[in-house]
Structure formats: structure tokens, C-alpha cells
């Protein structure tokens, strides 16, 4: 199979890695709802229990097949990639704390696992691989971000075969997915429910945000743009974390029987490796980027290695003047942010059920035990 314009998933077989993850399971849902829904969706994950429950969710979808499979096992992933047309790769170790404590495991999943995906896709004639990446790959300050950056570079380098029928490998990079596992909103909900305080590491902190549904849709849509070797950066609204806390306190405190004025918002100090702002594109990448309608496309640094014509439709700007970080964007106002949260059902009390009450970072336990 080769990529054709307009891009369509109809009559295709699609593989989603990390099927039990937040983005993975939403990807499967959205693939099934598309007008050009694929003939078959294969999902793989190494989480046996969650895979079992996910299988129950898709009981009435005979074209969804889920398998226990670890991307760290090259032989396994190669077997599951046979006769697959498109791969959406979302499997990764993503929690900064866990990767910092177990860097060896992060390397095996986020770097060697991607190499297994590349080898399997190339050997089995897969047409397209879309790798999902993160803002933490930009000027990384921790193990997780470093491994995700290396994953992006491996995906780019996989496009150097020069063959007309070679697999197209691309990455898509986005920031905070609100409401996902480990995001700040469930923590804030829990803290507000307990009567506060709501804890911020720094009141000047800004972030890009999007919903799980938006993330999944944009990952799929990015497939239609892929030329090979680029990193597609999703355009996202930016917010102040302090404003987020204030909006949530005002809206949720009465729900839990509290007076908003009685709930304090406290600053607890920036944690090691934490940035005050979020970067989706640094200044070096800016010089080789193109602006599209919903994305920025960061082209490979060594263009001569990749015989690819980056002729995207609807190019808005070929020379960017600024990098893409949250401090340089207009922040959502309180009313805009509340509309965003309410319209996307992000203030649900149920979000707090699995969230911790305190902010947590590597070294916290060691710091406490030494006192």
C-alpha cells in the first residue's frame, strides 16, 4: 500500500499501540466513528487487566481485535504488524516520576520500543506510522523527555531509504491533555473537595491545553498531512495554571459545600526539572518549520538526507518569527477557560476519584524521610 491523496482509512487495517492508554483508547473510538472507518482496528497493550476490560467495551465491534503484546518484544510486534496498513503508536512510559526512577525501563520502551515499531513496519510494508510525542521532548529536562526526543529522531531517520514504496514515518507532538491520567485537573478537584488548599508549584506557570478527544482527532488527522520525517505540532490554546485553579475553585467549591473565599491557593515551589512555561517548538526548530492551518510542521534538520517534497496544502507561513511556547501566546481569560472546561466536561467530580491529594515529584519521599 502507498499513501494516496486524499488520505482515507477506508478498507485499511489499523494498529494502535498502547490501546489501554488515555489517547490509545480514544483513538480506537474515533477511528470507529469516522466516515472512512477502517475495516479492522487492532489494539495492543502489555496491561493484561485493562486490556480485558477494554475488550468488553468493544464487544459489539467485531472489527476490533485486542492482543496482549509488549512493544519491547520485537518478535511480538512484528507478528502483530503483518498485513497492517497504518500504525498509530501511543505506547510509552509517560510519567516523569517513574521514568526518573527507572531510566533503563524508559529507554527500553520509549527508544528501543520505537525501533521495534520501525523495524516491524519496514519489514511488513506498512504504509504509514504516526508516532505520538510530547512537549517534554523539547529541550528536555528529564529522562522521559529525553527518551521521547530520541524516539522522534529515530522516526525521522527511518525515512532515509529513498524507496518510492517505503513506509512513511512521522511524529505528532502535543502538550497537556486535560482530564487524562496524571493531569492536574483531577488533583485540583480532589483538593477543592477536601476544602483546600489548592497547591501550585509556581503562580507564573503557563501551559498549552487540549482535551482527550481533540488529541485523538488531531493524531488521526495528522496522518493525512504526513510526508515523512517531520514533527507535526498541534496548535493549542494556552492558559495560566493560577487562572485554572481560580476558575476551578470558583466553580467547584459550592458544589462541595465550600465557600470559594475559604479555599486558599498556595505556592509550594517549582520542582526539579519543571519548566515555568511549555515549549512545543524551540528556536532552532522554528528556523526549519512551516505553519499550516492546525499544525506547525518541523522539517528534518538534515533535509538532504531525505528525498521528500514537503508540499503541504494550505501553507500559511514558511518563515516563523517566534518559537511556539506558552509564554508567547495569548492566554485564555477566566470566562474563556470556564467555557472550555464546562463544554468539554472537564469539571466532573468523578475525575478526582483516582487522583492523589498532594502534588508529587521525584525526591519527595527522600526529602521527607531525611527530616
Task: Tell me the catalytic residues.
Answer: 136
Rounded CA gap, 134 and 326, in Å?
14
CB 109 within 8 A of CB 71: yes
Q: DSSP letters along 22-62, please?
A: HHHHHHHHHHHHSTT--SEEEEEES-HHHHHHHHHHTTT-T
- With 0-12 / 13-18 / 19 or more C-beta atoms within 10 angstroms meaning exposed / middle / buried, residue 254 is exposed
Nearest alpha-carbon partner for 341 in 267, 233, 243, 218: 243
CA–CA distance, 288 with 294 (Å, rounded to integer): 17
The per-residue DSSP string of 292-359 comes to -SSEEEE--S-GGG-------SS--BSS-SS-EEGGGSPBPPHHHHHHHHHHTTTT-GGGGTT--SS-
Amino acid at each position: 500500500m502507498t499513501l494516496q491523496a486524499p488520505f482515507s482509512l477506508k478498507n485499511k487495517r489499523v494498529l494502535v499501540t498502547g490501546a489501554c492508554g488515555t489517547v490509545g483508547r480514544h483513538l480506537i473510538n474515533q477511528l470507529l466513528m469516522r466516515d472512512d472507518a477502517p475495516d479492522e482496528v487492532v489494539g495492543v497493550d502489555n496491561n493484561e487487566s485493562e486490556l480485558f476490560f477494554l475488550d468488553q467495551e468493544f464487544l459489539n465491534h467485531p472489527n476490533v481485535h485486542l492482543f496482549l503484546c509488549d512493544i519491547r518484544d520485537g518478535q511480538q510486534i512484528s507478528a502483530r504488524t503483518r498485513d497492517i496498513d497504518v500504525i498509530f503508536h501511543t505506547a510509552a512510559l509517560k510519567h516523569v516520576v517513574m521514568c526518573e526512577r527507572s531510566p533503563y525501563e524508559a529507554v527500553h520502551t520509549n527508544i528501543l520500543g520505537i525501533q521495534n515499531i520501525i523495524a516491524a513496519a519496514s519489514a511488513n510494508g506498512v504504509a504509514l506510522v504516526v508516532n505520538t510525542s510530547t512537549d517534554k521532548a523539547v529541550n528536555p529536562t528529564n529522562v522521559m523527555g529525553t527518551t521521547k526526543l530520541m524516539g522522534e529522531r529515530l522516526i525521522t531517520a527511518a525515512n532515509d531509504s529513498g524507496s518510492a514504496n517505503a513506509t512513511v514515518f512521522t511524529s505528532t507532538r502535543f502538550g497537556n491533555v486535560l482530564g487524562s491520567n496524571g493531569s492536574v485537573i483531577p488533583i485540583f478537584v480532589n483538593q477543592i473537595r477536601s476544602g483546600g488548599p489548592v497547591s501550585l508549584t509556581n503562580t507564573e506557570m503557563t501551559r498549552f491545553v487540549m482535551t482527550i478527544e481533540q488529541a485523538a482527532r488531531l493524531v488521526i488527522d495528522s496522518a493525512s498531512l504526513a510526508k515523512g520525517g517531520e514533527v507535526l505540532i498541534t496548535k493549542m490554546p494556552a492558559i495560566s495554571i493560577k487562572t485554572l485553579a481560580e476558575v476551578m475553585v470558583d466553580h467547584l467549591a459550592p458544589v462541595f459545600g465550600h465557600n470559594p473565599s475559604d479555599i486558599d491557593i498556595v505556592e509550594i515551589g517549582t520542582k526539579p526539572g519543571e519548566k515555568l512555561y511549555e515549549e512545543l517548538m524551540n528556536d532552532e526548530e522554528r528556523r526549519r518549520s512551516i505553519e499550516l492551518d492546525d499544525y506547525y510542521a518541523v522539517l528534518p534538520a538534515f533535509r538532504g538526507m531525505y528525498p521528500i517534497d514537503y508540499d503541504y496544502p494550505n501553507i500559511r507561513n514558511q518563515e516563523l518569527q517566534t518559537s511556539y511556547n506558552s509564554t508567547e501566546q495569548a492566554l485564555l481569560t477566566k470566562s474563556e477557560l470556564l467555557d472550555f472546561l464546562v463544554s468539554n466536561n472537564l469539571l466532573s467530580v468523578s475525575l478526582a476519584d483516582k487522583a492523589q491529594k498532594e502534588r508529587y515529584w521525584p525526591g519527595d519521599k527522600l526529602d521527607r524521610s531525611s527530616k
